[in-house]
Amino acid sequence: MSSALSRRTLFQLAGKLALAAPALSVVACEEAGGLRKAPGFAGATMGTSYNITVSAFPGTLDRRVFKASIEGILETVNRQMSNWRSGSEISLFNAGRTTGWSRISHDTLAVVDEALSIGKMTGGAFDPTVGPLVDLWGFGPATGGQTIPSDSRIETLLARTGYRHLQLVDSPPAIGKGRAGLEVNLSGIAKGFGVDKLAAFIESQGIEDYLVEIGGELRARGRSPRRAPWHIGIEKPIAWYRGLQRVIALEGGAVATSGNYRNYFENDGVLYSHIIDPRSGTPVDHKLASVTVVAGSAMRADALSTALMVLGPDDGFALARREGLAAFFIVQDGRGFVEIATPAFDVYALG
């Protein structure tokens, strides 16, 4: 039986925009007393914002051309992978209701391939076909509002999902459905890919010291304007509070955080997270408040943080240790928060 909702949060409304991802809480820390203001570029994209800081902008580059190139790259990613655009590659694939193949770009192929790899690693905790269930719970583009669905409806949509039913070919790049009605939603990985694309462009322009961020997911290289490692703050997982739980130092690599404390709805005193477990078709229900992952690419960090959030504090931490992941877990214990970090993460921690 469905039940009407009692309220929505502001963050849910933000989640209705293009390529909206789980609430991510990694923020770049500005060093107080910086020697000079670093050149920066910012704008709107993917239902959120992007920010780029470089320690020194080459005098040979035109800032307007540079920013136009950045926004062109982001527009291309949206045209390829946004579920919120009816003409995107992914939306056109999803529109087909029977089995068959669709041509896609090499970029979309790379993102789907990485999504399938992480799906296999995590036993289905990350699944790019979970979109219909995200919509069912009211967190996706195809939604008529947020309600608690019936068990039978969940089972019906589970029968339309499953990353193992996605098929890929390299040449020409194409994606196929092994199950009628299968859909792809790359919201848990495409934003990270966008960060990586910007990082590659920035480096191609001869810039070696930079920080790129889209909606809280970021990638850094080199040194900050103070000639020190970039300092990255991990938020306390509290919806109404903007404080830091931990700060890490980064000279190369990417960081992403997944959490269940901002994008949710409440019904009869129960909170329902936007993070849907692809295996059960229901929102996650455990004490893990957030997971931060440091990885070589933002795409990988993005997907892994979501997968570990689905797995929870015990299974997620066990997998992170087994795979040698740099992961930081913040767990609710009834009185506050408990931190758990893998050995690979400790090398980044300050203090």
pLDDT digits (tens, 9 = 90+) for 8-56: 332 232 233 223 232 333 344 444 444 345 669 999 998 889 999 999 9
Query: 110 or 139: which carries more pLDDT confidence?
Result: 110
Residues of the chain with CATH 1.10.3980.10: 80-177
Task: Name which of 85-89, 166-170, 206-210, 266-270 the model is least confident about.
Answer: 266-270
pLDDT of 343 reads: 96
17 vs 188: which has the higher pLDDT: 188
Of 31-35, 59-63, 117-121, 342-346, the range with the lowest mean pLDDT is 31-35
Q: How confident is the model at residue 334 (pLDDT cuts 50, 70, 90)?
A: confident
Q: What is the pLDDT of residue 146?
A: 73
**pLDDT score for 274:** 83
State the fold for domain 8-75+207-346: T-fold (3.10.520)
**All CATH 3.10.520.10 domain ranges in the chain, comma separated:** 8-75+207-346
Q: Residue 259 — pLDDT band, cuts 50, 70, 90?
A: confident
Lowest mean pLDDT among 103-117, 233-247, 256-270, 322-336: 256-270
pLDDT of residue 35: 39
pLDDT at 39: 67
> pTM of the predicted model, to two decimals?
0.87
Tokens 């045209």 map to which residue?
79
User: What number does CATH give the domain 80-177?
Assistant: 1.10.3980.10
